[in-house]
Amino acid sequence: GDQASINNDLVFSDFNKISVKDVCFSYPDSYPGKASDFLAGPFDEDITKGELLFIVGGNGSGKSTFIKLLTGLCYPDKGDIYVDSSRIDKTNYSALRNLFSAVYTDFHLFDKFYGVKNIDASTVNYWLKKMKMEDKVEYSDGGFTRTSLSTGQRKRLAFIAAMLEDKPILVLDEFAADQDPQFRKYFYETLLPELKLMGKTVIAVT
């Protein structure tokens, strides 16, 4: 077959290690022909199955760009990403993306759980309780009953939606930023270690 065509049938059902090797990305400048002002990388990182990985850095240090490259939202200008022994290129990019569910800083919360099959109400209710949301929101008819919620609370619901997708890797980008101090402590000290015990690979940007 044509090697350049996108192989949407390819699926990484799981992985042992994702390797990011010497990956760089430049944001194109708004003026054609002008050299790019912003280059991110080179990034080198191995992500091992079951790991809890914190990505720490100041504003503008490239954390979000690294996450976009890792999760397949951006294509690197240079360097390679491997899932075990498979090199990622444009033909198998969607298979890389499918390993991740994420709650990004600019997350969007849908009314329903789109693309999630066979949602079990008791699982949703379990997570509502875990995320201290059982008094504020109910699950019904494939989605959350909404009341007026804070950004932090909406982010917790986005977390539940990401858990229901049940992908091998969960990415949480600045998740604790909008949470109250009590929940933030609970998130770091209780929730993240529990996710690790469940076998999730968790990447937390902070």
pLDDT at res. 1: 43
For 118, how many CA atoms within 13 A lie in the half-sphere containing its CB? Answer: 1
For the stretch 28-40, pLDDT in tens is 765 565 555 678 8
Contact 18, 81 (CB under 8 A): yes
pLDDT at res. 143: 85
Instruction: Please tell me which residue, 136 or 27, carries the higher pLDDT value.
Output: 136
Global pTM reads 0.87
Contact 76, 23 (CB under 8 A): yes
Contact 46, 18 (CB under 8 A): yes
Please name the helix (run of DSSP H) or strand (run of DSSP E) that holds residue 196, with its range, or none: helix 192-197
C-alpha 78: how far from chain center: 22
Q: What count of other Cβ atoms lies within 10 Å of the Cβ of residue 58?
A: 7
Contact 9, 78 (CB under 8 A): no
pLDDT band at residue 60 under the 50/70/90 scheme: confident
Q: What is the mean pLDDT of residues 169-192?
A: 95
The rounded percent of the chain whose pLDDT value lies above 90 is 65
pLDDT at res. 30: 56
**DSSP letter, residue 1:** -
pLDDT at res. 2: 46
For the stretch 122-176, pLDDT in tens is 999 999 999 999 999 999 888 898 878 999 999 999 999 999 998 999 999 999 9
Q: Is the peptide bond before 193 cis (omega within 30 degrees of 0)?
A: no
What are the respective helix, strand and coil percentages of the chain, to the nearest 5?
30, 25, 45
Contact 137, 146 (CB under 8 A): yes
Q: What tokens appear for 42 in the block? A: 């080179």
pLDDT at res. 37: 62
